[in-house]
Amino acid sequence: MTNIPADKLPPDSISLLTNKTFDNILTGLAQGIPVTATLSELKIDKPTYAAILKQIREQPDMWSLYLKSKEIGSELLGEEIVQISDGLDENGDDNLEDIARSKLRIDTRKFLMMSNARHRFAPRQDITVTNINLVEAMELAEKRVKGEVIDGK
């Protein structure tokens, strides 16, 4: 997926974060697989994960690819939500599990989707303000500061 030259990596990261490891991380994220699972498969321990994530974060190109892969994985999580709610496993076969367990799986995926691709999946709030008399609002604010007004009266 990527080919980041060793001279672009921070000096202390060359032994921790190879292009192959980074490619595996990106591929896993794009498939909806957590980084910890990918690194565990590569036999990389959790303390190293923190160092690797720090190194990815410090490199704008790598960080951009990391975030894009998480967004792609979020799309797959959305597909999984449909399967879970329809009572199907990843092969499309019936999988009627406990409702509470299904709800937890769906809610977790929704949270990850909103976290990983906020601009696409997070709820939007539209705040519309109309008919405000700024002169009156400023006068009321001044009175509050002077202690003349309590609760808008």
List pLDDT tens digits, range 80-93: 888 888 787 777 67
Q: 135-139 long-range CB contacts below 8 Å, 24 or more apart?
A: none
Buried b vs exposed e over 23-52: b needs ≥16 C-beta within 10 Å?
ebbbebbbebbebeebbeeeebeeebbeeb
Mean pLDDT value across the chain: 79
Domain span at residue 61 reads: 6-146
Residue that is written with structure tokens 């990983």 in the block: 116
In a domain, 120, yes or no: yes
The tally of domains found in the chain comes to 1
- If one counts every other C-beta atom within 10 angstroms of the C-beta of residue 115, the result is 12
In a domain, 136, yes or no: yes
pLDDT bucket at 8, cuts 50 / 70 / 90: low
In a domain, 133, yes or no: yes
Contacts of 36 (CB under 8 A, 6+ apart): 46, 49
16-25, 50-59, 114-123, range with the lowest pLDDT: 114-123
In a domain, 67, yes or no: yes
Q: What is the reported pTM?
A: 0.59
52: domain CATH number is 1.10.10.60
In a domain, 96, yes or no: yes
In a domain, 153, yes or no: no
pLDDT bucket at 60, cuts 50 / 70 / 90: very high
- Are 39 and 25 within 8 A, CB to CB? yes
